Structure 1
């Protein structure tokens, strides 16, 4: 699984795990972990050659972002050896829903007596994550590096911890150490490229360097070409981006991500019919076919928000008839509802927005229940409190919104995440902007995510109102140059383009 800083909310539970993969390499069956460990990978234990072979194949897929194929191989390994702890561990990491993650997580945690030292550390890290004990997670990550100093994967685990706690420079340092230990360690290349491309402080030349390295090392991996396509898209070289995505799809015609990425590029290009076909094709080959959000964006780009909402409503209703696990239906409904909430809020449709948020509430509770994690439950409570606050903002009941916003902060009191209060500050910034208290709006918007386009948009609006015109226009210009598809960008693109165009004219 490739590193992504901001995981989608429906899989945010895996952020607490050390989701690190290893490059397929020679491993021998181990019985004495302390004495037999060698090389730059962590030890695994199995007496079955067939199980080990399937596991290694699964890791190869997992390294390259193909969780669907990885899951099948990890399950095959477990069929050969039900006591293969690392196979169960990675089956957990390759989960496809909150329910799937929780079910396999519990199986993994129950295997402690059969686990080697590295696997026990991962269990302890998982438990710490469930409790939002970041100090304990860091302690375990460092201990793993100390115990296995030649392990690229141990360095990767520590990097992922730092990345998840907004310490980008430290994360990059350890990903680079992983590559020093194993120059063909694919996850570190992918993570470094994505980090430099998407996260501040950004360095696009460094991103290109690691993506070039990735394509050279794993030329037959769809994800190598997908990430290179992302680089080209960022550089506004959309034809090259499409070519990279199409190359990825040719390597694996069932790779829904490659097909969807073509849809994203076509959305930015304004090729909306082509984009819709791309997204339909992606759902057709998908394991579950539940994602309607990106296709809804195409209608928003065209200024047809009502059509987008109708499309999302229809898509959500269709999920109940699909022959897929309930947990995956929950994810599809969750995605669609969040997209719809953004649209209604942007349109100022308080009545529609209130209905959407009320419909989202049981879906959010279901997702939290399926995840069976205090951290996920806290985040979901905060999410619902945020949207309840924004309903009040849309109704222009700002005093009630201020009061409700405090519940966002309360919901995450038990968490130790450094960015846990960003939704709280985002809400307060918007409320104070609407109330005309620009000084307070500035105070709060400055405590949000500098890389999240919606926060950047509100910062531009607030700075503009505060008279910081030069800074505001610089932010608008950055947004106008965005080439990644999201409902937030789809909603603000026309407004931002107009502002930037007027500024250039003047």
Structure 2
């Protein structure tokens, strides 16, 4: 699978699940065990239906290539042929398109224990451990799966994802490499290795290029291959080559919203805002629900028109209620739009607007967590809401109350076993202490956040600058100025950072 650790929390509804898979040949209804002289490198599945197995294998191919939408349709098709196809139900939960969809399909999967084979039972136990934030149990089961199926690249991939999600990047990389030794054409490991080396410290851009080129060679007809190759070019500031890769991906699948949106991201960095807005509109038109407003909102911010961005997000959010889509998907779209708007209002110091946006976010967040029905998601969402409450208090210069809200973040995630659970807590206290002039405390807290998250890097630079650590600050500003990936955080700070860097040169 493509690991999801770095995604914003409102996307991490299904990512607390790990990934298992299937054997990709054989039609028998009985479980097929691995043989010593076999080239089979997958995990066993059970179905009496050849049609179901064929649809499942097609879905798995789409899943490996990162096309959740097409994979989901194929897993649904497999379940239509065989409602008792446990692995198809498992993957259907992995490809859910909303909190409610995830919970419903997850619970269906968990209820199939009596029909499940040994690999699927392991995945059920791993899912239950994830729901309880029992990372020790997750690791134990992941290792047992590798021991039970030592020839399975997917079992090894599953263990790699565990290590990556627990901030053990180099251990994860070694396991992805082992997955490739087991199956040199295993697409998910190539994609994950490339992404890890490109985005996660310790970074190695040459290694990232190596694995992305390997991916393109192995799966030249996969849009995902060219999208990731485009990401490498974008990181290297080779934006024309990036655009060519994204356009190649779109030509392979005109309905691939990600490929279309990626062109919009590249055009945003290039300053081609009208072209970018067209790319994002095309992506929405091709998408399943047509609700992603973030990229287009960013274009207005890049132009220096944050008020236009907020107006665009507000109008777009109102339009969601007129769409004929499930309520849970409307809620996710509203949450995403509010998340973007909150960053804009916070950066602009618009206390009244920020308070209203956060107030609107809260019932949406509660609805999403209720639908997800997961203690981990609930705890994380509570923490995020406390973070935004803290930022509202900061915008009002009520730092004592902001600090109280920050402590509530710590309480909300106290039951979670995650190395990143306190990032919002330390981020909030870093900002609070920065505004209070307590640079030593601010530095102490910002150093405990995510060094690969550009907003944390930005605050690290600002705090160092305020503390008089000019050299350290300018090094960080230089790194930020070289960013070529589009996010609301980067859109808001780019001009400020560029001015500092240019003034210093």
User: Would you call these one fold, judging by a TM-score over 0.5?
Assistant: yes
Aligned counterpart, 2:336: 335
Deviation at 1:489, TM superposition (A): 0.1
Cα drift, residue 64 of structure 1? 0.4
Aligned residue in 1 for 2:28: 29
TM-score normalized by the length of structure 2 = 0.98
Number of positions where the alignment pairs a residue of Structure 1 with one of Structure 2: 503
Partner of 2:220: 219
Structure 2 gaps, min length 5: none
Could you say what secondary structure the match of 1:309 adopts? helix
* CA contact 1:7–1:15 (8 Å) conserved in 2: no
Structure 1's unaligned 5+ residue stretches are none
Q: Does 1:18 align with 2:21?
A: no
Q: Which residue is equivalent to 2:129? A: 128
CA distance in 1, matches of 2:62, 2:34: 29
Is 2:80 aligned against 1:64?
no
Answer whether contact 2:31 2:45 (CA < 8 A) is retained: no
> Counterpart of 1:73?
74
Separation in structure 1 between the aligned mates of residue 20 and residue 274 of structure 2, nearest angstrom: 38
Shift of 1:7: 2.1
**What pairs up with 1:494-505 in 2 under 5 angstroms?**
494-504=495-505
Counterparts of 1:155 and 1:7 in 2: how far apart (Å)? 22
Match of 2:359 in 1: 358
Superposition pairs for residues 213-362 of structure 1, below 5 Å? Answer: 213-362=214-363
CA spacing shift, 1:21–1:196, aligned 2, 3 Å: farther
Deviations 1:220-279 (A, max 9, x none): 000000000000000000000000000000000000000000000000000001000100
Checking the alignment, whether the CA contact within 8 Å between 1:21 and 1:63 is kept in structure 2 is no
Structure 2 counterparts to residues 103-182 of structure 1, below 5 A: 103-182=104-183
Contact 1:33–1:117 (8 Å) recurs in 2: no
Q: Equivalent residue of 1:454, what SS?
A: helix
Describe the SS at the equivalent of 2:234.
Answer: helix
State whether residues 11 and 98 of structure 1, in contact with CA within 8 Å, keep that contact through their aligned partners in structure 2. Answer: no
RMSD (Å) for aligned C-alpha atoms? 1.3
Deviation at 1:20, TM superposition (A): 5.4
Q: Kindly indicate whether the alpha-carbon contact (under 8 Å) linking 1:15 and 1:164 is maintained by their aligned counterparts in 2.
A: no
1:75·1:91 contact (CA, 8 Å) conserved in 2?
yes
Q: CA deviation at 1:8?
A: 3.1
Give the whole-Å Cα distance in 1 for the aligned partners of 2:272 and 2:133. Answer: 43
1:441-483 per-position Cα deviation (integer Å, ceiling 9, x unaligned):
1100100000000000000011111222111111100100000
| Counterpart check, 1:8 vs 2:5 | no
What is residue 208 of structure 2 aligned with on the other side?
Answer: 207
TM-score normalised according to structure 1 size: 0.98
Aligned residues of 1:21 and 1:187 also touching (Cα < 8 A): no
Q: 1:4 Cα shift?
A: 3.3
Deviations along 1:346-386, one digit per CA (max 9) or x if unpaired, are 00000000000000000100110111111100001000000
Q: Secondary structure at the match of 1:14?
A: coil
> CA offset at residue 31 of structure 1?
1.1
Q: Secondary structure at the match of 2:4?
A: coil
